[in-house]
Amino acid sequence: MTQEQSNNLSLPEGYTFRKLKSTDYSNKYLETLKVLTTVGTISEEKFKKLFEEWSQNSHIYQPHVITNNQGIIVSTGMLLLESKLIHECGKIGHIEDISVAKEEQGKKLGNYMVKSLSKLAEESGCYKVILDCSDHNVGFYEKCGFQVGGVEMVHRFFQY
């Protein structure tokens, strides 16, 4: 079964869901993330160093992107896999950093990203997948099959 069939969604013609590549620094990855939040100044060297850390720990860090028909990144998402002691050493998936380029919004790319990352979490043996979102995004995540399951608490050390 393809990822598209499992989501009951399809990407627009020529669009692709794939893992992040080390060469994506110059492929609008950071620009797409900036739609979501503050990114700051990230050099290519810093990007490649972090990408290498993610790659060495790919059993935990699973960054993915959606590219358009020109191969340019138009959506981002991160799946983090956490091994727990509870639930017989079960695993939880955490979905983070869902972002869609402004000019690409309305094409259900965010929905496709969230459902694809959820499916990857399930295939990795996770007993649940969770995410945090702003109040104004609750409706979007409900459309992706999520429900409110708790309250997020934050203790910030830096303000961005």
Which domain CATH number covers 138?
3.40.630.30
SS3 content of the chain, % helix, strand, coil (to 5): 35, 25, 40
Q: Rounded distance, CA 152 to CA 120, Å?
A: 24
Predicted pLDDT at 46:
97
Q: Report the mean per-residue pLDDT for the chain.
A: 93
159 lies in a domain?
Answer: no
> For residue 152, is it within any domain?
no
Place 158 in a pLDDT band, splitting at 50, 70 and 90: confident
43: pLDDT strictly greater than 70: yes
- The DSSP-derived string for 64-87 is EEEE-TTS-EEEEEEEEEEE-SHH
**Does residue 41 form part of some domain?**
yes
Domains in the chain: how many in total? 1
Residue with tokens 């992107």: 65
The residues, any chain, with a CB within 8 Å of residue 60's CB and separated by 6 or more, are 80, 81, 82
For the chain, where are the E strands, in sequence order? 16-19, 61-67, 73-83, 91-100, 126-131
114 part of a folded domain: yes
The CA-atom distances, in angstroms, between 143 and each of 10, 79, 154 are: 15, 19, 25
Q: Are the C-beta atoms of 78 and 95 separated by less than 8 Å?
A: yes
Higher-pLDDT residue of 3 and 82 is 82
Mean pLDDT of the 20-39 span = 96
> Per the domain annotation, does 153 fall within a domain?
no
The answer to whether residue 68 is domain-embedded is: yes
What is the band of 6 on the pLDDT scale with cuts at 50, 70, 90?
Answer: very low
pTM for the full predicted model: 0.91
4 has a pLDDT exceeding 50: no
**pLDDT tens per residue across span 65-117:** 999 999 999 999 999 999 999 999 999 999 999 999 999 999 999 999 999 99
pLDDT score recorded for residue 7: 54
- Evaluate whether residue 160 is within a structural domain: no
> For the chain, what percent of residues have pLDDT higher than 70?
95
C-alpha 6/C-alpha 54 separation (Å) is: 26
149 domain residue, yes or no: no
Range of the domain at 96: 3-143
